[in-house]
Chain A
Amino acid sequence: MEGPLLRVEGLLANLGGQPILRELTFEVREGERLGLIGPNGAGKTTLLEALAGLLPVAGGRITRQASFFYLPDGIMPWAELRAGELLSTFQSHHHREGQERQMLIEELDLGPVLGKRMCELSKGNRKRVLLALAFLTRAELLLLDEPFDGLDIHQTRRAMNLIESHQAAGRTFLLSIHELRQAEGLCERFLLLVGGRLVATGTLKELREHTNTQDGLEEVFLAV
Chain B
Amino acid sequence: MSSGGFALARTPPGPPRPDRAKPAPGFSLWRLEIRHLLTGRAWLGLAVILSLLVGSTFAKAVGIFTEGSRAALTSPDLAQGMNPFDGVLGPTFGSAYLVATLLLPFVAIRQIGADRESGALKLLLGLGCSPLQVVVKKFTVLVMAWAIYLLVPLSAALLWSRSGGHLVGTELGGLLLGHFLYGTVVIALSLLAGSLGRSSATSSLLVLAATLGSWVIDFEGATGGGWLSRLAALSLTQALRPFEQGLLPVGHVLAWSAFIPVALGLAAGWLHPGHRMLHKVLLSVGGVAAVLLIFLATPRFQRSWDLTEDRRHSFPSGVENTLSRIRGRLDIEVRLSAEDPRWMDLDKGILRKLRHVMPHVSVVRTGDPSTFGRYGQGGDDHYGEVVYRYQGREGLSRSTSAEEILPLIWDLTGAHPWAEDPEAAYPGYPKALDAPLGTLWFRLLLPLLFLALWLQQHLSLPKAV
Contact B15 A72 (CB under 8 A): no
Which residue of B is nearest A102, CB measured? B464
- In the bound complex, residues from chain A placing their C-beta under 8 Å from that of B276 are 56
A18 within 8 A of B: no
Contact B12 A103 (CB under 8 A): yes
Known contacts A85-B462, A93-B127; is-contact A170 B18 (Cβ 8 Å) = yes
Choice from A70, A92, A96, A170 contacting B26 with Cβ under 8 Å: A92
Stretch at the interface among A20-28, A133-141, A146-154: A133-141
Known contacts A56-B274, A93-B23, A93-B29; is-contact A170 B122 (Cβ 8 Å) = no
Contact A78 B122 (CB under 8 A): no
Contact A67 B19 (CB under 8 A): yes
Stretch at the interface among A32-40, A47-55, A176-184: A47-55
Contact A89 B31 (CB under 8 A): yes
Could you mark each residue 1-18 of chain B with 1 if its beta carbon is under 8 Å from any beta carbon of chain A, else 0?
000000000001111111
B35 within 8 A of A: yes
B36 within 8 A of A: yes
B445 within 8 A of A: no
Contact A169 B14 (CB under 8 A): yes
A94 within 8 A of B: yes
- In the bound complex, residues from chain A placing their C-beta under 8 Å from that of B297 are none
Contact A138 B35 (CB under 8 A): no
Choice from B12, B20, B29, B123 contacting A140 with Cβ under 8 Å: B20
A76 within 8 A of B: yes
Chain A 61-79 residues near chain B, CB threshold 8 A: 66-72, 74-79
- In the bound complex, residues from chain B placing their C-beta under 8 Å from that of A77 are 115, 118-120, 123
Could you mark each residue 91-127 of chain A with 1 if its beta carbon is under 8 Å from any beta carbon of chain B, else 0?
0111111111101000000000011000000000000
Could you mark each residue 243-285 of chain B with 1 if its beta carbon is under 8 Å from any beta carbon of chain A, else 0?
0000000000000000000000000000001111100000000
B45 CB to nearest chain A CB (Å): 14
- In the bound complex, residues from chain B placing their C-beta under 8 Å from that of A94 are 23
Contact B39 A84 (CB under 8 A): no
Contact B31 A76 (CB under 8 A): no
- In the bound complex, residues from chain B placing their C-beta under 8 Å from that of A209 are none
A80 within 8 A of B: yes
A23 CB to nearest chain B CB (Å): 19
Which residue of B is nearest A165, CB measured? B15
Interface bracket on B: 35 or more
Contact B275 A89 (CB under 8 A): no
For chain A, the count of residues having a C-beta within 8 Å of the partner chain is: 55
Give Cα distance in the complex from A49 to B31, angstroms. Answer: 27
Give Cα distance in the complex from A103 to B13, angstroms. Answer: 8
B250 CB to nearest chain A CB (Å): 41
Contact B273 A55 (CB under 8 A): yes
- In the bound complex, residues from chain B placing their C-beta under 8 Å from that of A80 are 36, 39-40, 458
Which residue of A is nearest B16, CB measured? A100
Could you mark each residue 153-190 of chain A with 1 if its beta carbon is under 8 Å from any beta carbon of chain B, else 0?
00000000010011011110000000000000000000
Contact A84 B32 (CB under 8 A): no
Contact A92 B39 (CB under 8 A): no
Contact A169 B19 (CB under 8 A): no
Could you mark each residue 22-40 of chain B with 1 if its beta carbon is under 8 Å from any beta carbon of chain A, else 0?
1110101101100110011
Known contacts A93-B28, A96-B16; is-contact A76 B118 (Cβ 8 Å) = yes
Give Cα distance in the complex from A137 to B123, angstroms. Answer: 11
Could you mark each residue 432-454 of chain B with 1 if its beta carbon is under 8 Å from any beta carbon of chain A, else 0?
00000000000000000000000
Give Cα distance in the complex from A87 to B13, angstroms. Answer: 19
Which residue of A is nearest B458, CB measured? A80
Contact A135 B464 (CB under 8 A): no
Contact A81 B119 (CB under 8 A): no
Which residue of B is nearest A164, CB measured? B15
Majority SS at the chain B contact face: loop
Give Cα distance in the complex from A74 to B273, angstroms. Answer: 17
Which residue of B is nearest A133, CB measured? B123
Give Cα distance in the complex from A207 to B316, angstroms. Answer: 92
Known contacts A67-B20, A92-B28; is-contact A169 B462 (Cβ 8 Å) = no
- In the bound complex, residues from chain A placing their C-beta under 8 Å from that of B463 are 88
B39 CB to nearest chain A CB (Å): 4
A197 within 8 A of B: no
Give Cα distance in the complex from A162 to B15, angstroms. Answer: 9
- In the bound complex, residues from chain A placing their C-beta under 8 Å from that of B273 are 49, 54-55
Give Cα distance in the complex from A82 to B20, angstroms. Answer: 28
- In the bound complex, residues from chain B placing their C-beta under 8 Å from that of A84 are 461-462, 464-465
B119 CB to nearest chain A CB (Å): 3
Give Cα distance in the complex from A42 to B276, angstroms. Answer: 22
- In the bound complex, residues from chain B placing their C-beta under 8 Å from that of A139 are 18
Give Cα distance in the complex from A74 to B26, angstroms. Answer: 28
Which residue of A is nearest B115, CB measured? A77
Give Cα distance in the complex from A137 to B319, angstroms. Answer: 68
A173 CB to nearest chain B CB (Å): 11
A31 CB to nearest chain B CB (Å): 11
B126 within 8 A of A: yes
Give Cα distance in the complex from A165 to B13, angstroms. Answer: 11
Chain B 69-85 residues near chain A, CB threshold 8 A: none
A-B contact pairs, 21 of them (CB 8 A): A52-B126, A54-B274, A55-B274, A68-B126, A70-B122, A72-B122, A74-B119, A77-B115, A78-B120, A79-B114, A87-B462, A90-B28, A93-B23, A95-B24, A97-B16, A101-B464, A114-B464, A138-B23, A140-B19, A169-B14, A171-B15
| 7 new A-B contacts at CB < 8 Å, known A89-B28, A100-B13, A171-B15 | A69-B127, A78-B118, A84-B462, A89-B29, A101-B464, A138-B16, A140-B19
Using a CB–CB cutoff of 8 Å, the interface residues on chain B facing chain A are 12-24, 26, 28-29, 31-32, 35-36, 39-40, 114-115, 118-120, 122-123, 125-127, 273-277, 458, 461-465
